[in-house]
């Protein structure tokens, strides 16, 4: 960014791109701890927000894991104030994460990237993790909030990012494409894909089946032997991932033929992916 004029032009462009979206507030910030926290705070005043930041000091993944968020990436959160109309079972968080994963993968595919999905929420290109999703709900003063955090590694040198991340093969769009990629384009494509399905689903005309089918088509996890660490109890389960349940749970058939349902967890190995 050379000067403030260019910055202003970029912001005007972003606001124009996002003008038609059903959002009460759009915040574009420089550095924050976590866009999920800013979004949650804004929901005290607004019923729907988008918060985008240039970098995050304390970006997080599931289970308190760290999410590296240097400048050049796209780090943002969508926040919605929820009422209780979704029933006593609450929000189907697993499904929301699946819907969001499909939106991110479709957006990147629309830009020519061969994005695939790894259960529950990783977006992979060439078996490298380029994006992650963190869905959080919170009750504050009887008010339920839903925050969907999305991180996409856009213009970041791959090796530099890899040095900061252990245990996961990371990828960045610029590294994979060999050129800089427009973050505004990635953002507006993701939001377009997301809101199309989101509004259909929320209005009750939803295509839950369609979303699940698309996730399965894009999945790099199904029909493979996987080892999953379940979030509840940290148990390791190995077997063949055979299906995705409507609530986003992964169904695994173990060597003894038993079917296991993993609602929350982490795939730690998947032979064909690691080779
Ligand atoms: C995720 O968690 O993949 C969810 C990441 C969500 C990040 C967004 S950014 C905007 C919003 N604000 C936040 O604070 N968070 C959200 P999980 O499946 O738990 O994966 C975390 C693991 O991914 C870490 O333990 C690392 O191994 C790896 N990792 C960390 N940073 C990464 C990066 N930039 N790219 C790829 N992998 C990364």
- Kindly give the residue spans of alpha helices, DSSP state H, lying in 124-207: 158-164, 173-177, 183-200
Answer whether residue 31 shows pLDDT above 90. yes
* Overall average pLDDT of the 160-181 stretch: 97
- Residue ranges around ligand 1 (CB below 6 Å): 34-36, 56, 59-63, 65-69, 75-77, 121-122, 129, 132-134, 149-151, 153, 161, 165, 167-168, 170
Q: What is the DSSP letter of 176?
A: H
Q: What is the DSSP letter of 25?
A: E
* Residue 202, both tokens: 């929320």
Residue nearest to atom 9 of ligand 1 (CA): 151
Distance 167 CA to ligand 1 centre (A): 12
pLDDT digits (tens, 9 = 90+) for 151-170: 999 999 999 999 999 999 99
Q: Which residue has the higher pLDDT, 141 or 125?
A: 125
State the chain's mean pLDDT as an integer.
88
pTM over 0.85: yes
pLDDT digits (tens, 9 = 90+) for 91-121: 788 899 999 999 999 999 999 999 999 999 8
In sequence order, the 6+-apart residues with CB closer than 8 A to the CB of 131 are 104, 108, 122, 123, 150, 151, 152, 153
pLDDT digits (tens, 9 = 90+) for 213-271: 999 999 998 999 999 987 776 788 899 999 999 889 999 999 999 999 988 888 877 66
Distance 151 CA to ligand 1 centre (A): 7
Distance 247 CA to ligand 1 centre (A): 22
Distance 61 CA to ligand 1 centre (A): 4
Q: How far apart are CA 18 and CA 184, in angstroms?
A: 10
């Amino acid at each position: 960014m050379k000067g403030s004029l260019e910055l202003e032009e970029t912001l005007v462009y972003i606001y124009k791109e996002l003008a038609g979206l059903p959002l009460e507030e759009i915040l574009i910030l420089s550095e924050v701890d976590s866009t999920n926290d800013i979004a949650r705070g804004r929901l005290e005043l607004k019923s729907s927000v988008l918060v985008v930041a240039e970098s995050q000091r304390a970006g997080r993944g599931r289970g308190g894991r760290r999410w590296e968020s240097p400048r050049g990436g796209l780090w943002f959160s969508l926040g919605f104030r929820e009422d209780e109309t979704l029933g006593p079972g609450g929000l189907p968080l697993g499904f929301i994460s699946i819907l969001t994963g499909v939106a991110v993968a479709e957006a990147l595919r629309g830009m020519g990237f061969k994005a695939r999905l790894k259960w529950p929420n990783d977006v992979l290109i060439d078996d490298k993790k380029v994006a992650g999703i963190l869905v959080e709900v919170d009750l504050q003063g009887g008010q339920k909030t839903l925050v969907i955090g999305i991180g996409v590694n856009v213009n970041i040198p791959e090796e530099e990012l890899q040095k900061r991340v252990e245990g996961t093969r990371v990828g960045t769009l610029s590294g994979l494409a060999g050129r800089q990629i427009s973050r505004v384009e990635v953002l507006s494509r993701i939001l377009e894909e997301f809101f199309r399905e989101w509004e259909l689903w929320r209005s009750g005309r939803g295509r839950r089946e369609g979303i699940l089918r698309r996730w399965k088509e894009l999945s790099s996890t199904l029909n493979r032997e996987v080892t999953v660490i379940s979030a509840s109890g940290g148990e390791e389960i190995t077997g063949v991932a055979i299906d995705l349940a409507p609530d986003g749970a992964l169904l695994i058939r173990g060597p003894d033929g038993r079917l296991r349902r993993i609602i929350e967890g982490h795939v730690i190995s998947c032979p064909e992916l690691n080779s």
